[in-house]
Amino acid sequence: MKILVTTPSGKVGQELVKVLKERGVAVRLGAHSVEKTRQAFPGLDVVPLDYGVPATLEAAVQGVAAVYLAAPGDFPSAPEKALVDAAKRAGVKKVVKLAAMGIEGSDNPMRQVEEHIRASRLAFTFLHPTWFMQNFTTSHAGAIKAGTLAEPAADKKTAFIDARDIAAVAAEVLTRPGHEGKTYTLTGPDLLSRAEVVEILGKELGRKVAYLPVTDEQFRAAVKAHLPESYVELLSALYAGVRAGWTETKTDDVQKVLGRPPISFARFAKDHRATWA
Ligand SMILES: NC(=O)c1ccc[n+]([C@@H]2O[C@H](COP(=O)([O-])OP(=O)(O)OC[C@H]3O[C@@H](n4cnc5c(N)ncnc54)[C@H](OP(=O)(O)O)[C@@H]3O)[C@@H](O)[C@H]2O)c1
């Protein structure tokens, strides 16, 4: 029986596909961009999965034993709830849901999806990671290359986590028993301010990278031409949480699940050096 991986081009999804493939686990990739995903993972079972097209959800879960469930950050809950219902009808046994640190007690759509999974009585594990290191190789890559990282994060710290660790945890809980009903809060090993982040990047690259703390207003003005309004609102709220100190926490859940420490930011910087070179 197969494992369905949603968002297989996502920061975590693509790493999860690699881990499951290496372990010889049968996977089905439920892709939003089908051709892009086929090119990235030749020879694997790639099917269309578009949260805006209900029939694709129903088809993607047929013959599947477990689902890794994720969606873009600014998504409503209804499409993922529909996928959970389709999974239940198709006889899926387990759902592993990627959400985010700090959603407990909120009415965030990710929390609504989790409540729906609980009510479905499917076996589940919830993953609550903090901010990903991979944001620095994707949305912030151009700024780092140009020499200045501007974020409305003040001098607050975050224990950034490598998406490879989240994927490794997801693979573990998808393929081995003992994690049902649990929520893992996933962080990296070190609490770092953005100033410390650029210092590590600068050391790795052999040139100065600056951190420019900006206000919420300056941030909104800089990104509004490039991002949908809902995403700007989401990011603005997330950065407000950083400035309030909500990310200044770290856990040992990666160590507990994997039996090894999480990847450090220095290791991440070394592994992705070419992105900013
Ligand atoms: N980034 C972080 O620091 C962070 C931290 C904590 C939690 N999270 C959570 O992690 C999740 C992933 O966020 P991310 O920002 O890292 O994004 P991502 O997973 O890197 O990218 C979004 C994924 O969603 C897919 N997608 C877009 N529209 C879709 C649709 N209509 N139907 C199906 N799939 C669709 C994209 O596929 P295509 O590429 O094919 O369009 C892509 O694979 C979110 O729930 C977010 O809240 C992120």
In a domain, residue 223? The reply is no
* 140 close to ligand 1 (CB < 6 Angstrom): no
Domain with residue 120: its CATH number is 3.40.50.720
pLDDT at 206 over 90: yes
In a domain, residue 191? The reply is no
pLDDT above 70 as % of the chain: 100
* 139 close to ligand 1 (CB < 6 Angstrom): no
Do residues 247 and 190 lie in contact, with contact meaning Cβ atoms separated by under 8 Å?
A: no
In a domain, residue 180? The reply is no
Q: What tokens does 30 get?
A: 């439920």
pLDDT tens, position by position, 127-165: 999 999 999 999 999 999 999 999 999 999 999 999 999
* 239 close to ligand 1 (CB < 6 Angstrom): no
Model-wide pTM > 0.85: yes
pLDDT score of 106: 87
* 200 close to ligand 1 (CB < 6 Angstrom): no
* β-strand partners of 95: 67, 124
In a domain, residue 239? The reply is no
Do residues 119 and 148 lie in contact, with contact meaning Cβ atoms separated by under 8 Å?
A: no
* 170 close to ligand 1 (CB < 6 Angstrom): no
* 215 close to ligand 1 (CB < 6 Angstrom): no
pLDDT tens, position by position, 6-49: 999 999 999 999 999 999 999 999 999 999 999 999 999 999 99
In a domain, residue 151? The reply is no
Question: How far apart are alpha carbons 136 and 142 in whole angstroms?
Answer: 9
Classify each residue of 234-268 as buried b or exposed e, where b means 16 or more C-beta atoms within 10 Å of its C-beta: bbeebbeebbeeebeebbebbeebeeeebbbbeeb
Atom of ligand 1 nearest to the CA of 49: 33
Mean pLDDT of the chain: 97
In a domain, residue 49? The reply is yes
Q: How far apart are the CA of 71 and the centre of ligand 1, in A?
A: 5
pLDDT band at 1 (very low <50, low <70, confident <90, very high): confident
pLDDT at 105 over 90: no
* β-strand partners of 27: 3
Q: Which domain holds residue 76?
A: 2-129
Q: How far are the Cα atoms of 21, 81, 96, 129, 189 from residue 63, in angstroms, in the given order?
A: 18, 19, 17, 29, 38
* 52 close to ligand 1 (CB < 6 Angstrom): yes
* β-strand partners of 29: 5, 46
Quote the crossing angle between the two packed helices 216-223 and 229-243, to the nearest 10°: 150
Q: What is the CA radius of gyration of the chain?
A: 19
Three-state secondary structure string covering 26-58: CEEEEECCHHHHHHHCCCCEEEECCCCCHHHHH
Closest Cα partner for 94 from 64, 129, 128, 53? Answer: 64
Q: How far apart are the CA of 11 and the centre of ligand 1, in A?
A: 7
Domain count, the chain: 1
Q: How far apart are the CA of 7 and the centre of ligand 1, in A?
A: 6
Q: What tokens does 191 get?
A: 């609490």
Do residues 149 and 194 lie in contact, with contact meaning Cβ atoms separated by under 8 Å?
A: yes
For residue 277, the 8-state DSSP code is -
In a domain, residue 25? The reply is yes
In a domain, residue 115? The reply is yes
pLDDT tens, position by position, 222-257: 999 999 999 999 999 999 999 999 999 999 999 999
Question: How far apart are alpha carbons 179 and 184 in whole angstroms?
Answer: 9
Question: How far apart are alpha carbons 57 and 82 in whole angstroms?
Answer: 8
Q: How far apart are the CA of 10 and the centre of ligand 1, in A?
A: 5
